[in-house]
Amino acid sequence: MPEKRILDAITSPADLSVLTDEDLAILAQEIRDEIVSTTSRTGGHVASSLGAVELILAAHSLLSCPRDRIVFDVGHQAYAHKLVTGRLKDFSTLRTYGGLSGFPKPDESVYDQHPSGHASDSLSVAYGLAKARDLAGRNEKVVAIIGDAALSGGMAFEALNQIGQSKTPMVIVLNDNEMSISHNVGAMVKHLGALRASQSYRQTRDNMQEIMEASGPFAKALLNLGRNMKDSVKFMALPHATIFEQLGILCTAPIDGHDIGLLREVLSVALATRAPVLVHVVTRKGEGYGPAVRDPETFHGIAPFDVMTGQVRKKPEAAPSYTSVFGGALVREARADSRIVAITAAMTGGTGLAPFSREFPQRFFDEGIAEEHVVGMASGLAKGGRKPVAAVYSTFLQRAVDQMIVDCCLPNLDVVFAIDRAGVVGEDGPTHHGVFDMVYCRMIPNMRMLAPSDEAELVHAVHTALAIGGPVAVRYPRGSAEGVLVPDEANLLPKEAQVLPVGKARVLREGSDVAVLAFGRMAYQALAAADLLADAGIDARVVDMRWVKPLDEEAIKAAAETRLVVTVEEGALVGGVGEGVLAVMARRGWAAPTLTLGIRDAFVGQGTPELLLRDLGLDAEGIAKSIAERLESE
Ligand SMILES: Cc1ncc(C[n+]2csc(CCOP(=O)(O)OP(=O)(O)O)c2C)c(N)n1
Ligand SMILES: CC(=O)[C@@H](O)[C@H](O)COP(=O)(O)O
Ligand SMILES: [Mg+2]
C-alpha cells in the first residue's frame, strides 16, 4: 500500500492551518513531486511553480481564502495554489483541452481572484481589492505575489507609486529568484541584488537593537500600530535601504523562501501590520528538481519531459518554427545593414532573438518585461537613425498599442513590429492567444501589416518591412512552419529575400465559383479546403492576401465577381481584416455574397492549436463546410 500523502487530505487551504512547519515541509515535497510528475506529461511552467511552493503554502496557512485574497502575478507559479484549493483530482488535466488552466482563472475556482497571464498587473489588482475592502469597511487580507522580473513592468511601478502613498494595508510578496525567463535585467535587479548581499534577515534580527535606534519613520509607524517592538522590527530591512521604503512601503530584509517556518513567522507579522508591507523572499527557480535547477530557462515553460533525465519528449519537427526562421532572417538582414537593431521585452529565446543577441550584442536590447517602453524606445532609436525591430508576442504587444499609435505611427517612423505568437498559441489559453493584433494594427494610420502564409513568405516579409520604411508589422504564428523550405538550404532561408509589392496579393489556386481570401497560415487551410470543395464540385479560388494593410483591392474586386467572397483570418472577427474586406466592397459598391471566417466575439480556450482551430471552424474541413453551407443557402 502506498503511504498516504498529506496532500491527499487537503481539500481546502483551511486544512493547512493545523499543520506544523514540519508537516508543511513534507507537504511541500509532495507538491513538488506532483508538479513534476504531472507536468512531465502535460508540459507547463515547472521552474517558477517549484520555486514558489513554500511561499504559497505559508501564505495559505495563515490566510482564510477565499475571504482573504491572493493575487498572482503572471500566475505561472501558482500550481501549488491549485493543489491546495481543491484541484488535486483534476490536476492531471492541467493545460489540456477542457482541463485545468495553467494560470489562476476565476471561472475555475473561487480561490482565483484574477485571470492571470500577463505580467506586472498583480499589484494594481490587489491594490484595487484592498481599496474596495476599505470602502466597504471590511478587514480581509490582500496579498500580491510578484516575481522580480514582473516587478520591472511599468504597471507594477505605477501601482507601487500609489500603494506607498495610500498606506492601504496589503502585503506584497516579492518572489526574488534573480531570474526572468532567462536572466533578469535592469537597475532594479541590481538594487535587489544589493539588498540580498547586504542584509540577511538573521543579521538584521541580530542587530535589532541597533536598528531600532536608527529606525526610520516607517518602522516607528509600525511600532505605533501596536506590534510588539521585537516582533515588528526584527523583520525590517535596514532603514532607508530600499526603494520600497523610500516610496512608503514597509519592507522586510530578504528571507529564505524555502524555509517555511521563517516564511510563516515573517508573513504573520506582515499580515498583522496595518500598512503596506513588502516581504522580500529569496527563492530558487526549479527548487527540488535537479534538471530544473540546472536549467531554469528550459524549465520555465517546457513541453512534456522525461522525469529521470529532464529531456523534452518532443517528436522531431517536420519544419523549423516560424520563430527560428524569423531569427535567422533578421540576422541575415542585420549582417547587410548595420542600422538594424533588435529589441525584446524579456523574451529573447521566445522571439528567436538569441542568435541575433550573440552575433550583435551591441545592437541587441533586452528591456525586461516592459512592452510599452520597448515600443517607445523603438521610436527613439528610429528617430536617431537606427532601424529597430521590436519583436514582441502578439498578446503582450496589446500593452503597447498607445506607443504604437503615438510614438511610432504618428511620426511615421521606420519601426518594424515582429509580432510572434499571432493566432492561437495552444495550451497557455485565452490570456496568450494572439488574436487581436490585426484589429489594433489595422486601425492605426501609417501602419502597414504583412501576414506571411509560410516561412519563405516570412523571410520576404521581414525583408520587405525593413526595405519599405515607415511602421510595418509582420505577424506570424507559434510553432512549426509549413515546411516549404528545403532543409539543405543554407540557414534554412531562401537564397534571396524579396521585396514584396505593397498591398499586392498572390493567387495560389484559380477557381471561379468562390474566392477565398486567406490571411497568414490560413492560406494552407484554405488550399486544403479547396481540395475538399473540388470533390463536391465547387471550384474555389484561393488567394494568399499577404497584406492585412493595405488590402489588395484588385483581388477583392475579382473575388466579388464570383458567387461568394470568403475571408479567412486567424484573429478576432470584430474589427478584423475580414471586416476590412467588407468595408472595401461597400465603399466601392462591389456587391457579392460574403462569408467572414475567423474568431467570433468570444475568448478562445486552451488546447492544442489543431483542436482549437477545429473548434473555431478554421481547419480545412471547417472552412469547406462553412463555404458549402453558405453556397447552399444562397
Ligand atoms: C506582459 C507580459 N510580458 C511578458 C510575459 C512573458 N513572461 C511570462 S513569465 C516571465 C518572466 C517572469 O519572471 P518573474 O516575474 O521573475 O517570475 P519567475 O518566473 O522568475 O518566477 C515573462 C517574461 C508575460 N507573461 N506578460
Ligand atoms: C507565462 C508566460 O507568459 C510565458 O512563459 C509563456 O507561456 C511563453 O509562451 P511560449 O511557450 O509560447 O514561449
Ligand atoms: Mg524571477
Q: If pLDDT is split at 50, 70 and 90, which confidence band does 318 have?
A: confident
**What's the gap in Å between 618 CA and the centre of ligand 2?**
23
pLDDT in tens, 91-138: 999 999 999 999 999 999 999 999 999 999 999 999 999 999 999 999
ipTM of the complex in this document: 0.99
Q: What is the pLDDT of residue 199?
A: 65
**3-class DSSP state of 250:** strand
Q: Which helix (H) or strand (E) holds 72?
A: strand 69-72
Q: Which of 157, 181, 394 to mutate to test the pocket of ligand 1 (most atoms within 8 A of CB)?
A: 181
pLDDT in tens, 320-360: 999 999 999 999 999 999 999 999 999 999 999 999 999 99
Backbone torsion region of residue 498, taken as left when φ is above 0, otherwise alpha when ψ lies between -120 and 50, otherwise beta: beta
Question: What are the pocket residues of ligand 2 if the criterion is a CB atom closer than 6 Å to any ligand atom?
Answer: 45, 74, 76, 181, 300-301, 350, 421, 425, 428, 478
CB 551 within 8 A of CB 519: no
**What's the gap in Å between 302 CA and the centre of ligand 1?**
14
Confidence check: pLDDT of 430 > 60: yes
| Over residues 390-405, mean pLDDT | 98
pLDDT in tens, 146-167: 999 999 999 999 999 999 999 9
State how far the Cα of 158 lies from the Cα of 160, in Å rounded to an integer: 6
322-492 and 506-633: identical CATH topology = yes
Confidence check: pLDDT of 219 > 80: no
Residues 6+ away with beta carbon under 8 Å from 496: none
Q: What is the pLDDT of residue 412?
A: 98
Q: What is the pLDDT of residue 217?
A: 47
Closest to 518 (Cα-Cα) out of 546, 499, 539, 540: 546
pTM for the complete prediction? Answer: 0.95
Q: If pLDDT is split at 50, 70 and 90, which confidence band does 200 have?
A: low
Confidence check: pLDDT of 450 > 80: yes
Place of cell 527540488: 288
State how far the Cα of 576 lies from the Cα of 578, in Å rounded to an integer: 6
**What's the gap in Å between 61 CA and the centre of ligand 3?**
23
CB 350 within 8 A of CB 167: no
Whole-number Cα distances in Å, 157 to 132, 176, 193, 246: 21, 16, 18, 13
Please state which CATH number belongs to domain 506-633: 3.40.50.920
Cell of 89: 483530482
CATH of 322-492, one of 3.40.50.620, 3.40.50.300, 3.40.50.970, 2.60.40.10: 3.40.50.970
In the chain the first and final C-alpha atoms are separated, in Å, by 66
Poorest-confidence range of 40-49, 479-488, 574-583, 621-630? Answer: 479-488
Confidence check: pLDDT of 203 > 70: no
**What's the gap in Å between 78 CA and the centre of ligand 1?**
13
Which atom number of ligand 1 is nearest to the Cα of residue 52? 21
427 is catalytic: no
Q: What is the pLDDT of residue 227?
A: 46
How many residues appear in the chain? Answer: 634
Q: Where are the domains of the chain?
A: 7-287, 322-492, 506-633
Mean pLDDT taken over the chain: 93
Q: What is the pLDDT of residue 130?
A: 98
Question: What are the pocket residues of ligand 1 if the criterion is a CB atom closer than 6 Å to any ligand atom?
Answer: 48, 51, 74, 76-77, 118-119, 147-150, 175, 177, 179-181, 285, 345-347, 369, 371, 396, 399
Residues 56, 60, 66, 72, Cα dihedral to 10°: -20
| Over residues 410-427, mean pLDDT | 98
Q: If pLDDT is split at 50, 70 and 90, which confidence band does 82 have?
A: very high
Range 7-287 has CATH code 3.40.50.970: yes
pLDDT in tens, 503-545: 999 999 999 999 999 999 999 999 999 999 999 999 999 999 9
Strands in 116-168 per DSSP E? 142-147
Q: If pLDDT is split at 50, 70 and 90, which confidence band does 316 have?
A: confident
